[in-house]
Amino acid sequence: MELSKLLMPGAVRIVGQLTSKKRLFQELGEIASQAYGLSAAVAIDGLQERESLGPTGVGHGIALPHARLEDLSKIVGVFIRLEKPLDYDSVDRQPVDLVFGLFAPKDSGVDHLKALALVSRTMRDQSIVAKLRANTDPGKLHAILTESRAPQAA
């Protein structure tokens, strides 16, 4: 599994400022709708439902909201770089500026977990995170996220 298969260039955005986690989920849903044809409302509801189980802010300014959705044929991703960090109730209580949203089919099982692990490994790489924070061009952000890397064990 590779990020280049999960993340389309049109699903990478720079967003100036969002006022709440709810607004962030709306933005993720709208981008997923535009890039992949998902129902924005279904995507937003899925993210909110998953978030109610526990926060997806993993620390160090990074959030990995995700949801399993009906009527989705493959796992897809959305990436947002926030210019102004957002309070997200992360595990380390730090605001979030890098958000990788993942949407998977309801019955994706282990593939959903593999995709989440891949995104998590990528977002834990300090050199990648530094490059993401240093760039403001969505095309460059997509290239940084999807460049081939040697596979690592989870």
Tell me which residues are annotated as active site. Answer: 66
The per-residue pLDDT for 36 is 95
Using the predicted structure, report yes or no on whether residue 13 has a pLDDT greater than 80. yes
User: What's the average model confidence in pLDDT over 129-141?
Assistant: 94
The per-residue pLDDT for 152 is 47
The per-residue pLDDT for 55 is 85
Own/partner pairs, 42-45, CB within 8 angstroms, 24+ separation: 42/69, 42/70, 42/71, 43/67, 43/69, 43/103
Strand 62-63 relative to strand 66-69: parallel, antiparallel, unpaired? unpaired
Strand 57-59 relative to strand 66-69: parallel, antiparallel, unpaired? unpaired
Residue 148 banded pLDDT, cuts 50, 70, 90: low
Residue 149 banded pLDDT, cuts 50, 70, 90: low
pLDDT in tens, 31-84: 999 999 999 999 999 999 999 998 898 889 999 999 999 888 899 999 999 999
Write out the E strands in the chain: 12-15, 57-59, 62-63, 66-69, 76-86, 96-105
